Structure 1
Amino acid sequence: MKVLNFGSLNLDYVYSVDNFLRPGETKSAMDRNTFLGGKGFNQSIALAKAGIPVYHAGNAGESAEVFRRELEQHGADVRFLKGGDEVCGHAMIQVDSRGQNCILIFHGSNYNIDEAYVDSVLDQFESGDMVVLQNEINTTHYIIEEAYKRGMKIALNPSPYDETIHRMPLEKLSWLVLNEVEVKDLSGQDTEEAYVRWFRERFPDLRVVVTLGRRGAMYIDRDQVIRHPAYNTTIVDTTAAGDVFTGFFLAGQAQGRAVEETMQIASKAAGISVSRHGAAASAPTIDEVMAAELEPVQL
C-alpha cells in the first residue's frame, strides 16, 4: 500500500504569551519562533517518523524549497510537491503558559490547487492505496470523489472544522479522525453513546477515531468501541499533538497493526509531542515511541 498525503504546508509563527489576547488587547510576546507546519506537513512528518513511506502533494508557493528539503530529510517523497510565486500559507499561533494554543490561519498557496493537478497526482496511485486529507486546501471534496473512483482508501481529519464538512461524502471514507468538539458538531449529539449510535446508523462502514485530550482516544466501528488512555508527560506545547496522533494511527493502519496496538502507539507519540516545542518538530520517531515508558493518565 502506498500512502499519499494531499495536504497543506504553512509557515508557523509561534508566539509565547502568558495568556491569550482578548479583544482590543495589545501585549508583548515573551518569545517568537518560526516553524514549518500546516496540518498536511505535520502529518506527513508524523507518518514518515512512524516508519511508513509517504508521498506529499500540495502547494507551498514561494517557500516550496524549504518544505521540500525538510520532508526529504525525514524520508517523505516530494516528487508531487508544487511551488510557485504565491505566498505560502501561514499560521499565527499563540502558546500560553499552560502549553495551550490558539491558531489563526491564512490559506495562501494551499488554496491554489486545481483539479488537473489533483488528477495528475492521483493517476500515479491505484486501488488499495491510502490518501490522507485534512481541511486546509481548496480541493478536499474533489479529491475524495476522485480517490474513491480509483478505489483508494481515504482518511480525513477535517480540521479546521467548518460547515463544508456536512457537504462532504463521508460514506466514501475509510477513516475519519475528529476531536471531541468536532465529533459533537458533526453528529449533533452531546454524549458518547449518542454519537457512537449516530455514526453506526449513518455510516456503518466508516472507522471513526475521536481524540479526547487528557481522556485519551476512542475508536468506533460497526462492531466495537475501543478506548485508550492518554499518557502522562510534561505539557509544553500542544500545537501538533492531534497531527502526531493522526499520523501514527494511520501509519499503524497502513502497516496492518491491530487497532489496540495502533491506538497505544499513536497515544504515546502524541504524549511525547506535547512535551516538546513546535509542530512537526515535536513528532518523535517510531523508535522513541517504542522505547518510551510512560504511565497512563489516571482520571
Structure 2
Amino acid sequence: MKILNFGSLNIDKVYKVPHFVRPGETISSRSYESFPGGKGLNQSIAVSRAGAAVFHAGTIGKDGLFLKEILERSGADTRYLRECGEVTGHALIQVSEEGENCIILFNGSNYENDRGFMDEVLKDFSEGDILLLQNEISNLDYLLQRGKEKGMRIMLNPSPMDGHLKEMDLSGVTWLMLNETEGNEITGEKEASRIAETLLARYPHMNIILTLGKEGALFRSGEKEFRQPCFPARTVDTTAAGDTFTGYFIAALSFGKTQEEAMRLAACAAAVTVSREGAAVSIPVMADVEASIK
C-alpha cells in the first residue's frame, strides 16, 4: 500500500496582528514571517513525520524550490513534484493575539495541475493505495473520479470550501475530514450529529471525521460512532492543526491501527502543533507526540 498526496504547496506569509482586519480598516502588523505551507505540503510533512512513507505530487514555481527541499528533509518522496516556472501559490495569514487565524489564498502554480499530468502520476498507483486530497488544486473533480475508478482509498479534506466542491461526486471518498463550518456548507446542518447523519444518508460507505475545535472530533460511519476529546494545549497558532490531524490519522491507519487509535494519535499531534508557531515548521515528529501522550 502506498500513500499519494496530490496536493497544494504554498508560501505562507504570516502577519501577527492585534485583531483581524475589519472592513475599511488599516492596522499595523506587529511582526512578519515567511513559512513553507499549503494544506497539501503540510499534510505530507505530517504523514512523513509520523513515520509513514508518502509521495507528494503537485506543481511549484521557481520561487518555491525550497518547498521541495523541506518535503525531502521531512522524508517525503518528491519524484512527482514538478516546476512550472509560474508564481508558487501563497497565503496571507493574519494571526491574532488569541492564536486564531484567517487566511487569503492565491492559487498560483497549484492551479496548473492538468489532467495529463495527473494521469501520468496515477499510473504508478493502484487499488488499495491511499489518495490524499484537499481543495487547493485544479481538477480536483477529475482526481476524485480517477481515484475511484482505480479503486484507491481516498481521504478528502474539502478545504477551502467553495460552490464547485459542493457539486462534486464524493461517492468514492473513503474518509471525509472536515470541520463544522465546512459540514454546514455541504449539508445545510449546524449540529455535528446532524451533519454526519446527512452525509451518511448521501454516502453510506463514507467514514466521516468532523473536527469540533475545543470539543475534539467526531468519528461517524455506518457501523461506528465515537468522539475523541482534545488534548490540553497552550494555543499559540492554530494554522496547521487540521493538517497535522489529517496526516497523523492517515499514517496511523497505514500502520494498521484502529480508527480509535488513529483518532487519538491525531488529536495529540494536533495539540502539539497548536502550541508552536507557523504551519509546516510546527508539525511534530512522532517522538514528540509520543512524549506528549505519556
Give me the TM-score of the superposition, normalised by structure 2.
Answer: 0.98
Equivalent runs, 1:103-252 vs 2, <5 Å: 103-252=103-252
**Could you tell me how far apart the structure 1 residues matched to 2:208 and 2:124 are?**
27
C-alpha deviation, 1:242, in angstroms: 0.6
Unaligned runs of 5+ in 2: none
Q: 1:167 to 1:72 in 2, by over 3 A?
A: same
Aligned to 1:297: none
**Could you tell me how far apart the structure 2 residues matched to 1:96 and 1:26 are?**
15
Runs of 4+ in 1 over 3 A off after TM superposition: none
**What is the aligned-residue RMSD (CA, Å)?**
1.1
- Cα shift readout 1:106-158 (whole Å, capped 9, x = no counterpart): 00000011110000000011111011000000111101111111111111001
**Could you tell me how far apart the structure 1 residues matched to 2:99 and 2:49 are?**
23
**Could you tell me how far apart the structure 1 residues matched to 2:101 and 2:28 are?**
16
C-alpha deviation, 1:200, in angstroms: 2.4
- Cα shift readout 1:45-71 (whole Å, capped 9, x = no counterpart): 001011110000000111342111111
- Give the letter aligned to residue 176 of structure 1: L
C-alpha deviation, 1:159, in angstroms: 0.2
C-alpha deviation, 1:282, in angstroms: 0.6
- Give the letter aligned to residue 126 of structure 1: S
Contact 1:64 1:82 (C-alpha < 8 Å) held by counterparts: no
Aligned to 1:145, what secondary structure does the other structure show?
A: helix
**Could you tell me how far apart the structure 2 residues matched to 1:26 and 1:214 are?**
31
- Give the letter aligned to residue 217 of structure 1: A
C-alpha deviation, 1:163, in angstroms: 1.1
Aligned to 1:144, what secondary structure does the other structure show?
A: helix
**Could you tell me how far apart the structure 1 residues matched to 2:69 and 2:197 are?**
45
Aligned to 2:262, what secondary structure does the other structure show?
A: helix
- Give the letter aligned to residue 144 of structure 1: L
Give me the TM-score of the superposition, normalised by structure 1.
Answer: 0.96
- Give the letter aligned to residue 97 of structure 2: S
- Give the letter aligned to residue 249 of structure 1: F
Contact 1:63 1:83 (C-alpha < 8 Å) held by counterparts: no
Contact 1:166 1:186 (C-alpha < 8 Å) held by counterparts: yes
Unaligned runs of 5+ in 1: 295-299
Aligned to 2:59: 59
C-alpha deviation, 1:224, in angstroms: 1.5
